C-alpha cells in the first residue's frame, strides 16, 4: 500500500471509528441510569425455550426488560463458577434444582425468604424446590421449570399381552410379571426400558422407589448417605432381573440418556420410569395409547416422585434485585403459569393450579402435576459429582448392582464412596 494512501485514507478512517466508538460508549453509559432497567438472566440451554417464552411475554408487556443468555448445559457450572469469581454473574440465575446447594452454600445468591413469604401463593410453590433452595433456614430460590419422574406404560401393548390396560403395575412383582407378559408378544418388544449408563436418568427414576416408603437416602443437609439397605437392594434387584431375563432393549446398559425415551415413544417398550418431559414427545409422536402411574416402593405401599427441573434465584451481586424479583414474581402468577407454562404443555410451578384449563384437559398431565406436592428433591452439595457424573460413584453402584455379578459388594462400595464424597464436600 502506498504510504500516502495510508496516511490520507486509512488513518483518518481508523481515527473516525475510534471516535465513534468512544462517543457511543459514553452515551451508552449515560442512558443506563434512567429509563427502564434491563435485567440479565442465565439459563442452561435445555431450559432456554421454556424461559424464553416467559421472557418474551414479559418484555412485551413491561418497561423493564429481561435479557436472556443460554449457556451450554455441559459448561453451566464452570461458567457460573468463573463468573462468580469475577463478580460478573447475571441478575437472575436459572439452575438445575439439584445444583442449588452449590450456590446457596457459597453465598452466591440473594436471600429472598421475605419476598417469597409475601407471595399470596407462597404455600403452593412446589415444596421440594423451595426446600432444595434453602440453606441455614434462608430461602434463595423459587421453582422455574418443573420436571417430575413418573411411571409410563403403553396401553396398547398391555392389551396385546392380555393385561388390563387400566391397571398399571402396583408393585415390583407386578412390574416383573407384566414385563414378561409384554416381552412374550415379540422378541422385538421390550417389557421395560431404562438408561443404564446415565447417572442423571437413574437418580431421577430410581430414587423415588427408594424413598416412596418414607425412607431417607440423604439426610442431615445432604451430609449423610444411606444406600446400604434392603430397599436399595430390592430396587436394583428388580432392574437386575429385568436385564438378566432380557426384558429390556439390548442397549439399556450403554444407554447414556441421549436416546432413552426413543424406544418407548416408538411404541416398542411396555413400561418405563421417565421424566414428565416425555409427555410432550408422546403427545406429538405416539401412535399408541399410553398411561401414567406413580413410582412406587417395592411392596407398593407408598408412592413418590423426584421433582427436578430448574430453580430461579437472584444473585447476591445483582444491582437490580427489585427488578429481578418483579420478573420472578410475574413468572409465578396465574397469567404466566396458565397461559404460557401450562398452555405449552409444561407443569405449572404451583400445586394450586393443577386443574387449569390446559393441564386439566388431559387427566394424565393433571395426575403428574398433582404428584408434585408429595415429591422430593434430593439434597447434597456435591450432587453433580456424586450422582450425575458418568464417572461418579452413584452410576458405578447402579451398574455394579444391575449388570454386575456381585450386587451386594457394589452397593456397599457405592455407599462408602458416596459417603466419602459427601464428607469431602462438607470439608
Partner 1 sequence: MKKGMSRKTRAAVTGQLFVAPAALIVLVLFVIPLGMLVWMSFQDYPLLGSPTFNGVDNYTSIPGNDTFLNAIGFTLAYTGATTVVMFGVSFILVAIANSSRRGSKFYRTSYFLPYVVGTAAATLLWFVDSDTLVGVFNQIPLALGIIKEPIAFLSTPELAFWTTIALVTWKFIGFQVIILLMGLQSIPRELYEAARVDGATVLQQLRYITIPFLRPILALLFILSVTGSLLAFDQFLILTKGGPDNSTVSLVYAVYNTAFVKFDMGKAAALSVVLLVALLLISAVQLPLLRRKDV
Which residues are within 8 A (CB) of 414 and not within 5 positions of it... i.e. 6 or more apart?
Answer: 227, 393, 394, 396, 397, 398, 400, 401
CA–CA distance, 226 with 224 (Å, rounded to integer): 7
From the number of C-beta atoms within 10 Å of its C-beta (0-12, 13-18, 19+), residue 220 rates as exposed
* Closer residue to partner 1 (CB): 37 or 274: 274
Which residues are within 8 A (CB) of 148 and not within 5 positions of it... i.e. 6 or more apart?
Answer: 275, 276, 305, 306, 307, 308, 309, 347, 368, 369, 371, 372, 375
Least distance to partner 1, CB of residue 96, Å: 14
Closest among 370, 373, 350, 349 to 360, alpha carbons compared: 370
CA–CA distance, 29 with 21 (Å, rounded to integer): 12
CA–CA distance, 92 with 315 (Å, rounded to integer): 6
Would residue 220 be called left, alpha or beta, if left means φ above 0 and alpha means ψ between -120 and 50 degrees?
left
* Closer residue to partner 1 (CB): 179 or 402: 402
305 touches 294 (CB < 8 A): yes
* Closer residue to partner 1 (CB): 27 or 82: 82
* Closer residue to partner 1 (CB): 296 or 386: 386
The phi, psi pair for 71, rounded to 5°, reads -110, 135
Q: How many residues does the chain have?
A: 427
Least distance to partner 1, CB of residue 226, Å: 23
* Closer residue to partner 1 (CB): 3 or 87: 87
* Closer residue to partner 1 (CB): 52 or 417: 417
Which residues are within 8 A (CB) of 32 and not within 5 positions of it... i.e. 6 or more apart?
Answer: none
- Positions in the binding site for partner 1 (CB under 8 A): 75, 77-78, 80-82, 84-85, 102-103, 106, 108, 197, 249-251, 253-254, 256, 259, 263, 382, 384-385, 389-392, 396, 399-400
Least distance to partner 1, CB of residue 252, Å: 9
Q: How would you write 306-328 as a 3-class SS string?
A: EEEEEEEEEECCCCCHHHHHHHH
* Closer residue to partner 1 (CB): 168 or 249: 249
The helix or strand, by DSSP H or E, that contains position 242, with its residue range, turns out to be helix 230-244
Least distance to partner 1, CB of residue 245, Å: 16
Query: Is the Cα torsion angle 103, 109, 111, 115 positive or negative in sign?
Result: negative
CA–CA distance, 331 with 362 (Å, rounded to integer): 23
Least distance to partner 1, CB of residue 395, Å: 8
Closest among 247, 230, 154 to 196, alpha carbons compared: 247
Least distance to partner 1, CB of residue 78, Å: 5
* Closer residue to partner 1 (CB): 75 or 363: 75
* Closer residue to partner 1 (CB): 101 or 169: 101
CA–CA distance, 120 with 419 (Å, rounded to integer): 40
Least distance to partner 1, CB of residue 382, Å: 8
Least distance to partner 1, CB of residue 90, Å: 15
Least distance to partner 1, CB of residue 66, Å: 24
* Closer residue to partner 1 (CB): 84 or 293: 84
Residue 237, helix vs strand vs coil: helix
* Closer residue to partner 1 (CB): 59 or 253: 253
Least distance to partner 1, CB of residue 127, Å: 26
Least distance to partner 1, CB of residue 165, Å: 26
Amino acid at each position: 500500500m502506498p504510504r500516502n494512501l495510508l496516511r490520507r485514507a486509512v488513518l483518518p478512517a481508523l481515527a473516525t471509528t475510534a471516535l465513534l466508538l468512544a462517543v457511543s460508549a459514553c452515551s451508552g453509559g449515560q442512558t443506563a441510569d434512567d429509563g427502564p432497567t434491563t435485567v440479565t438472566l442465565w439459563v442452561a440451554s435445555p431450559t432456554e425455550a421454556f424461559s424464553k417464552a416467559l421472557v418474551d411475554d414479559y418484555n412485551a408487556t413491561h418497561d423493564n426488560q429481561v435479557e436472556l443468555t443460554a449457556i451450554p448445559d455441559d459448561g453451566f457450572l464452570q461458567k457460573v463458577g468463573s463468573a462468580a469469581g469475577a463478580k460478573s454473574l447475571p441478575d437472575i440465575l436459572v439452575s438445575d434444582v439439584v445444583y442449588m446447594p452449590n450456590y446457596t452454600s457459597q453465598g452466591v445468591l440473594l436471600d429472598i425468604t421475605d419476598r417469597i413469604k409475601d407471595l399470596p401463593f407462597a404455600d403452593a410453590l412446589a415444596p421440594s424446590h423451595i426446600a432444595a433452595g434453602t440453606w441455614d433456614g434462608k430461602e434463595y430460590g423459587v421453582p422455574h421449570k418443573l420436571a417430575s419422574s413418573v411411571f409410563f406404560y403403553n396401553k396398547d401393548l398391555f392389551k396385546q399381552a392380555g393385561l388390563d390396560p387400566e391397571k398399571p403395575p402396583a408393585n415390583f412383582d407386578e412390574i416383573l410379571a407384566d414385563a414378561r407378559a409384554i416381552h412374550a408378544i415379540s422378541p422385538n418388544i421390550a417389557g421395560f426400558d431404562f438408561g443404564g449408563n446415565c447417572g442423571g436418568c437413574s437418580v431421577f427414576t430410581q430414587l423415588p422407589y427408594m424413598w416412596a416408603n418414607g425412607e431417607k437416602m440423604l439426610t442431615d443437609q445432604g451430609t449423610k448417605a444411606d444406600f446400604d439397605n434392603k430397599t436399595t437392594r430390592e430396587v436394583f434387584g428388580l432392574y437386575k432381573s429385568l436385564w438378566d431375563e432380557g426384558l429390556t432393549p439390548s442397549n439399556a446398559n450403554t444407554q447414556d440418556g441421549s436416546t432413552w425415551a426413543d424406544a418407548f415413544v416408538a411404541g416398542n417398550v411396555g413400561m418405563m420410569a421417565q421424566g414428565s418431559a416425555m409427555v410432550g414427545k408422546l403427545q406429538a409422536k405416539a401412535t399408541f395409547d399410553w398411561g401414567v402411574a406413580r413410582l412406587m416402593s417395592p411392596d407398593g405401599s407408598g408412592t413418590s416422585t423426584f421433582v427436578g427441573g430448574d430453580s430461579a434465584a437472584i444473585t447476591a451481586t445483582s444491582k437490580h434485585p427489585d427488578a429481578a424479583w418483579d420478573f420472578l414474581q410475574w413468572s409465578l402468577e396465574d397469567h404466566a403459569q396458565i397461559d404460557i407454562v401450562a398452555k405449552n404443555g409444561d407443569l405449572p410451578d404451583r400445586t394450586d393450579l393443577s386443574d387449569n384449563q390446559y393441564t386439566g384437559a388431559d387427566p394424565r398431565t393433571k395426575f403428574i402435576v398433582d404428584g408434585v406436592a408429595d415429591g422430593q428433591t434430593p439434597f447434597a452439595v456435591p450432587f453433580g459429582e456424586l450422582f450425575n457424573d458418568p464417572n461418579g460413584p452413584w452410576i458405578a453402584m447402579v451398574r455394579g448392582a444391575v449388570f454386575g455379578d456381585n450386587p451386594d459388594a457394589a452397593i456397599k462400595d457405592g455407599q462408602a464412596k458416596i459417603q466419602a464424597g459427601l464428607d469431602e464436600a462438607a470439608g
